[in-house]
Amino acid sequence: MVQPGKVIIFSAPSGSGKTTLVRHLLTCKLGLEFSISATSRAPRGGEVDGKDYYFLNDEDFRQSVLNGEFIEWEEVYSGSMYGTLRSEVERIWSHGKTVIFDMDVVGGLNLKSLYKDNALAIFVMPPSMEELERRLRGRQTDDEDKIRQRLAKARKEIGRSDRFDHILLNNDLETAKKEAEKLVQSFLEK
Ligand code: ADP
Ligand code: 5GP
């Protein structure tokens, strides 16, 4: 049995900048390690299996669900499943590190309910819906249909932001990075 440690959860509507902020924190020598999720969606250009995600086909994903290998999983977008493997969290804790998650809002709240005071749950807020749309388009990773789905979901997600421990506005990126560092540091010192 692995000794449970702390976890940091970054959640936000897609395109808000949570991946950018999580990547920054991983360079900060805070003792964090990224929890690599499993997904049934296809890799995007440049994504590496076992680094960005564990890419599974539908059948293998469903089998892992049946085997009870996930601490949470969801069909985040129609036909695309995502989940957190228990083995991944235990692997990170066994190194004495803190787990950091990049998670959609429902998954983030589920993890907060699971880990309670051992979790710091941060909601990354985009400055506006217009800016969120600009960032999604600027990223050039999703077609028009996916962008519409993500924007529709974002409205609902923003409505749940007050259930997080902190709301972090990602307007100016450098300011948001510093704020993220401060929040994580003070949580780890507790
Ligand atoms: P998420 O992980 O929440 O889906 P990303 O980190 O992929 O979001 O960011 C979406 C896009 O917005 C990326 O192209 C990223 O470079 C850009 N971005 C992130 N933060 C900012 C910011 N503060 N100002 C402008 N662009 C940003
Ligand atoms: P993307 O396809 O853009 O990489 O991710 C789509 C959404 O799935 C993002 O909001 C991302 O945070 C979320 N996601 C990634 N991994 C997991 C996971 O393990 N569980 C859940 N519930 N959502 C996840």
Work out which ligand 2 atom sits closest to the CA atom of 84: 19
Whether the predicted pLDDT of 165 surpasses 90: yes
Q: Is the pLDDT of residue 190 over 90?
A: no
Residue 154 lies in a domain: yes
Instruction: For residue 14, give the ligand nearest its CA.
Output: 1
User: Which atom of ligand 1 is the closest one to the Cα of 102?
Assistant: 2
Q: By the 8 A CB rule, do 84 and 101 touch?
A: yes
Say if residue 154's pLDDT is above 80: yes
Is the distance from CB of 148 to CB of 14 less than 8 angstroms?
no
Residue 155 included in any domain:
yes
Give yes or no for a contact between 104 and 111, defined as CB atoms under 8 angstroms apart.
Answer: no
2 located within any domain: no
pLDDT at 31: 96
Residue 166's pLDDT band (boundaries 50, 70, 90)?
very high
CATH number of residue 91's parent domain? 3.40.50.300
Ligand 1: residues with CB < 6 A are 12, 14-20, 135, 138-139, 170, 173, 176
In this model, does residue 1 exceed pLDDT 80? no
Residue 101 Cβ contacting ligand 2 at under 6 Å? no
Q: Give me the mean pLDDT over the 158-186 stretch.
A: 98
Q: Is 23 helix (H, G, I), strand (E, B) or coil?
A: helix
Mean pLDDT within 72-76: 93
Average pLDDT over residues 163-188: 98
Residue 64 has pLDDT above 80, yes or no: yes
Helix, strand, coil proportions of the chain in percent (round to 5)? 45, 25, 30
Domain-located, residue 20:
yes
Q: Closest ligand 1 atom to the C-alpha of 14?
A: 4
In a domain, 79, yes or no: yes
Residue nearest to atom 18 of ligand 1 (CA): 17
Q: Which domain holds residue 65?
A: 7-188
pTM of the model: 0.94
Tell me, what's the pLDDT at 106? 94
Ligand nearest to the CA of 133: 1
100 in any annotated domain:
yes
DSSP state, residue 91: H
- DSSP E strands in 12-103: the ranges are 32-34, 38-39, 54-55, 70-77, 80-85, 98-103
Tokens found for residue 116:
């309670």
Work out which ligand 2 atom sits closest to the CA atom of 38.
19
Model pLDDT, residue 34 = 96
What average pLDDT does the segment 115-128 reach?
97
- Indicate the SS3 state at residue 110: helix
In this model, does residue 78 exceed pLDDT 90? Answer: no
CA geometry: angle at 156 spanning 155 and 157, to 5°?
90
- Check if 41 has its Cβ closer than 6 Å to any atom of ligand 2: yes
In this prediction, residue 2 carries a pLDDT of 77
Phi, psi of 97 (to 5 degrees): -105, 165
Residue 171 lies in a domain: yes
Q: Does the residue 1 lie in any domain?
A: no
Report the number of distinct structural domains present in the chain: 1
